[in-house]
Amino acid sequence: MNVGVVGNPSYRDLKNLLAHLAQAAPRLGLTLFTEDRIASLWPAPSPPPLERAPSLDCLVTLGGDGTLLRGARTLDGANTPILGINLGRVGFLTTATSQTLDWALDALVHGAYGTESRLALEPTIVERGGAKSRTEPVVLNDVVVHKGGVARVIRLRVSLDGEEVGQYSADGIVVATPTGSTAYSLSAGGPIVVPGVDAIVVAAICPHTLAVRPLVVPSHAEVAVEPIPPWTEDVLVSFDGQVGTTMQPGDRLVVKRANRPVVLVRLGPDGFFARMREKLQWGDLSDRERK
Rg of the chain over CA atoms, in angstroms? 20
Burial class for 221, CB neighbours closer than 10 Å (0-12, 13-18, 19+): middle
| CA atoms in the 13 A half-sphere facing the CB of 132 | 6
Residue 200 and residue 165: Cα distance in Å, rounded? 15
Yes or no: say if 67 and 88 are a contact pair by the CB < 8 Å rule. no
Q: For residue 96, what are the CA distances in angstroms to 59, 65, 103, 112?
A: 14, 12, 9, 14
Is the model's pLDDT at 190 over the cut of 80? yes
Is the model's pLDDT at 199 over the cut of 60? yes
Residue 60 and residue 67: Cα distance in Å, rounded? 10
The pLDDT value recorded for residue 278 is 82
CATH code of the domain occupying 2-119+261-279: 3.40.50.10330
For residue 71, how far is the Cα from the chain centroid?
9
The pLDDT value recorded for residue 283 is 76
- Catalytic annotation present for 65: yes
Residue 56 and residue 78: Cα distance in Å, rounded? 9
Domain chopping of the chain, boundaries: 2-119+261-279, 121-257
Yes or no: say if 18 and 41 are a contact pair by the CB < 8 Å rule. yes
For the chain, percent of residues with pLDDT exceeding 70: 97
The pLDDT value recorded for residue 138 is 94
| Tens digit of each residue's pLDDT (9 = 90 or more) over 222-281 | 999 999 998 888 899 999 999 999 999 999 999 999 999 999 999 988 788 888 888 888
Give the pairing type, strands 243-247 and 82-86. unpaired
Three-class secondary structure of residue 243 per DSSP? strand
pTM > 0.75: yes or no: yes
The predicted model gives 139-147 an average pLDDT of 96
Query: Which strand (E) or helix (H) includes residue 235?
Result: strand 235-239
Read off φ and ψ for residue 161, nearest 5 degrees.
55, 40
Yes or no: say if 271 and 95 are a contact pair by the CB < 8 Å rule. no
What amino acid occupies position 37?
A: R
| Tens digit of each residue's pLDDT (9 = 90 or more) over 100-121 | 999 999 999 999 999 999 999 9
In the CATH hierarchy, which fold is given to the domain comprising 121-257?
Tumour Suppressor Smad4 (2.60.200)
| Tens digit of each residue's pLDDT (9 = 90 or more) over 204-218 | 999 998 888 999 999
Q: How confident is the model at residue 49 (pLDDT cuts 50, 70, 90)?
A: very high
Check 13, 36, 57, 65 and give the catalytic one: 65
Q: What is the 3-state secondary structure (H, E, C) of 145-199?
A: EEECCCCCCEEEEEEECCEEEEEEEECEEEEECCHHHHCHHHHCCCCCCCCCCCE
Angle (CA) 267 269 272, round 5°: 90
Yes or no: say if 155 and 169 are a contact pair by the CB < 8 Å rule. yes
Residue 44 and residue 108: Cα distance in Å, rounded? 25
| CA atoms in the 13 A half-sphere facing the CB of 210 | 0
Residue 258 and residue 179: Cα distance in Å, rounded? 14
| Tens digit of each residue's pLDDT (9 = 90 or more) over 152-165 | 889 999 999 999 99
Angle (CA) 40 46 49, round 5°: 90
Is the model's pLDDT at 289 over the cut of 80? no
